[in-house]
Every structure is written in C-alpha cells, then in structure tokens.
Amino acid sequence: MTVAIGVDVGTTGAQAVAVDERGSVVATASSEYPLLTPRPQWTEQDPERWWEGVRAVLGSAAGEVAKGRHDVAGIGLTGQMHGSVFLDASGEVIRPALLWNDQRTAKQCEAITQLVGERRLVEITGNPALTGFQAPKVLWLRDEEPDAFARVEHVLLPKDYIRYRLAGEFATDASDAAGTLFLDLRRRTWSEEILVALGVPASWLPGVFESPEAAGSLAPDVAGELALGAGIPIAAGGGDNAAAAIGTGITRDGLMSSSIGTSGVLFAHADAPAIDPSGRIHAFCHAVPGKDCLLAVELSAGGSLRWWRDVTGADYATLVAEAESVPAGAEGLLFLPYLTGERTPHLDPQARGVFLGLTARHTRGHMTRALMEGVVFGLRDGLEIMRDLEVRPKEIRATGGGATASLWLHLQADVYGLPVHRLEIEEGAAYGAALLGHVAAGTFADVDEATSVVRTKPDVTEPDPRAAETYDEVHEIYRGVYASVREDMHRLAARAGS
C-alpha cells in the first residue's frame, strides 16, 4: 500500500498523519513544544524546537508505516502561517521566530501602508497590513534589531524552515506565501513593487511553487536517521488553512468550511481572486493550483465558550444542555464575542465582548445560548462579505469543535441558512498535506483526484425555516451593535491599559 505522510508545524506542537491511497489514516503522531512570550503581546518560538518535534513525529509515523509494510511515497508540509524565520548566509537561525499572533509590529504596519499605499497594498496582496503577517516582522527586525537584520540572507515561513532541514531547499507555496504581504495574489509570485517599496531583497525569499508540486526531496542523511528512503519527494504543501481545505474537500465553487476551535474560520473556495477593497476578510491563494480562497477569521469563537466555562465553573456538557432548553434568539439577549479584539469584519484589536439585553429573567442557559449564537453571528458577518463579493457557498462542512455538538451544528445551519455536513475523517491540516504529498509522488494525478477520497457523513443538518427567520432578524440587530459602542469600547480599553 502506498502512503504519504503529512507534517503540520503547528503553534503548540507538530503532528504527522500517514494516509494511504484510499484516504485511510494508517498512523498518527504528535509532539509539543513551548511558546515563548518574552514581553506582553510578543510570541516567539525556537525553530530548533520545531525541528526536534518534526523529527520525532515523522520518525514515529514512519515506524508505524513500516510495521504495516507500506511504502512511503511522498511527504507534504503544512503549518502555522505568517511567521518569520531569519537565517544567515550559513543557514543558521539568527533569532527566535516571530509568530502569526505576535502583536509588536503596529508601527511597521503603518509604515507599510504609507510606503505602498493602502488601496494599492490590498489590490496587489488581497490584504491590508496586519500585525500577524510576515512583512511587518521583517521591518521590525530592521528597526529594532539592526545587528541581526544585517546578518539576514533568507526569510522563511515555519513549514518552509522544516523543508530546508529535510531537503536543503529554499522553497514555499503560493497559499502560504499569500500570507506574507510580499506576494502578488494574481500573479502568484513575489511582488517586485512591494519589495522595492519596503527595501527587502528578492533574494531573501524562497521560490514559489504550487502546493502539490514537488519542492525538494528527502536528503540522504535525514532519510537514514528517520528510516525512510532518500529522495522521497516533498510537496510544496500549504498554509494550515489551505491544507485543511484539501483535507475537507473545499476545492470547488459552492463549498465552504466552518471551523469553530479557539478561533473561528470560514474558508470558501474561489475560482478567481475575490478581494474585499476594505480588507475585512483575507484573500489568499488556494492550495489548488491556480485557484483562490477567502477566509473570515473570528479571534474568539470556541475561546468564548471556554472563557464562559471557566467563569461559571460548569462543564461544557452542562452549559450546552442548558442552552438547548432556551429558544432561538435567547429571548432578547445578544453577545458580541470580541474577547480578544476582532479581525473579521472589524479589524479592531480594541473591540471588546458585550452582553446586550440582559434582564433579571435571563438565566445562565440564556447567556450560554446567546454566547454561542453570537459566535456564529460573528462568522456570518464574514459570510455576508463573501456573498457581496459573489462568492456564494451552497454547502457548509463543519470542522473542529463546531462539528462535535448538535447545538453547534444546528446554530450554523440556521444562522447561515445552509445545510451543514460533517466529515468521515477529520485530521486537520496534516491530512490535507498528506494528500498533497500523494500528488507530488504521482499517486494521484492532481488535487481533484486526491480529494476524491474525502467523504462526508450521510447525516446532514438542514436549516430550520422558523429558526433561520428568527436569526435573520436578530443578526440585523447584532450587526449594528458594534458601531454604536465602538468608541466606548476603545475608551474602556484605554482605561484598562490595552
């Protein structure tokens, strides 16, 4: 049996998933590594810890594959997007990598916007300058650590540093590169205009490949250490959201995934670039060659429910059961889930959470119901922007915690007004990376053939017409609340020192 191994360089740890040509998972392995927070709102990691984690999970998965007498034909890479790994001329790491959730670069984002132009930046890259992206991190290094900046010869994304260690190649893929602010979204290559404006040498950036293309092969010394065959092709891979979309089959028009984890993400396939001029949602290249995608990101989705669990001291099962007994609309109670600021649609790090409409008759169940509804209302804000851009999903595939509880499934179907499906196999981005590894190895001719192994469960959660009508009305109220309290949110944030 032919197997490909997908490797995910995540924020909290590395994961490997071995997948055969039927789409079955034959081995999994995971490891953890620490997150560094040297100052408030700074997040870093040591790339050497990534490498140690990847070696462990790749070696473990390869060992399980060997026990089953399978052949490893390819490797696919995915990982956290936007991070910056700085290497010197000898390929050594200069300093800890700055991560996607690092917030130190507000000044550099302002500088990028001024140098390129706000409208022009979105026209080229599909996105405004946000603190999480890679480009402002490069300028931060220039401004704040000039000695380290003077040593830079290569700038890599997290998964591409692992490729360098596995294969000795400097390469990336279009989907991950689209989250740097250096990529021309339509041309799917580095933007000379932006690089010149920011004073960043093109030679620092790796070659850009399409996700299923082979972009390196396993070096003999690493292959020997991991008991794998030398020369195994390594797919260019994809950013974590794009690779996850391969694993969930979001590869054609009309499909969208809805992920409710700590954060919430709507991911929709687009046959051509669909750019929101105001940059409220992300426009990236897809892991499907020549195709694009839209992402709406809510910073505190399942994170809001986790906060509520911790505050109340009740477990999830109790809270959800109480919420299920409350009617749609929570009898006039609303919740804005902006506990850690918000990205889509407000791009406001100072946005704050709100319960609105609270009365003495409301119970904990009402508040839980309003909270969960508010999370899905926030994601619907992103869906409405997609619809305005003529990207109109007809089917939702639920992933993460939002696929595990009946109430989450019904809320998504009713608030989106669309049928919600679940997947037979949900192994996250690493599963999609394994399918890309199969394409790079020639097991499948292309991504379409590879994703033919992705299957949904037979049960479908359909919208309830009465609940959907209620939620249409309540969502209209929800959409107007932020604008009415925005200034007060900011005044309170200032008083709190954030």
Q: How much is the CA Rg of the chain, to the nearest whole Å?
A: 22
Residue type, 431: Y
Determine the Cα–Cα distance for residues 423 and 250; give it in Å rounded to an integer: 12
3-state DSSP assignment of residue 316: helix
Determine the Cα–Cα distance for residues 253 and 114; give it in Å rounded to an integer: 36
62 and 227 Cβ atoms separated by less than 8 Å: yes
Determine the Cα–Cα distance for residues 179 and 108; give it in Å rounded to an integer: 16
Determine the Cα–Cα distance for residues 210 and 203; give it in Å rounded to an integer: 19
**Other CB atoms within 10 A of residue 148 CB:** 14
Residue 423 pairs with which residues in a beta bridge?
456
176 classed as catalytic: no
3-state DSSP assignment of residue 31: strand
Q: Which of 240, 276, 381, 414 is catalytic?
A: 240
Task: Please report how the helices 158-167 and 47-67 are oriented relative to each other, as an axis angle in degrees rounded to 10.
Answer: 60
**Other CB atoms within 10 A of residue 419 CB:** 15
> For the stretch 340-378, what's the b/e string if a residue is b when 16 or more beta carbons lie within 10 angstroms of its beta carbon?
bbbbbbbebbbbbbbbbbeeeebeebbbbbbbbbbbbbb
CA proximity to 282, closest of 78, 129, 109, 72: 129
> Known catalytic residues?
240
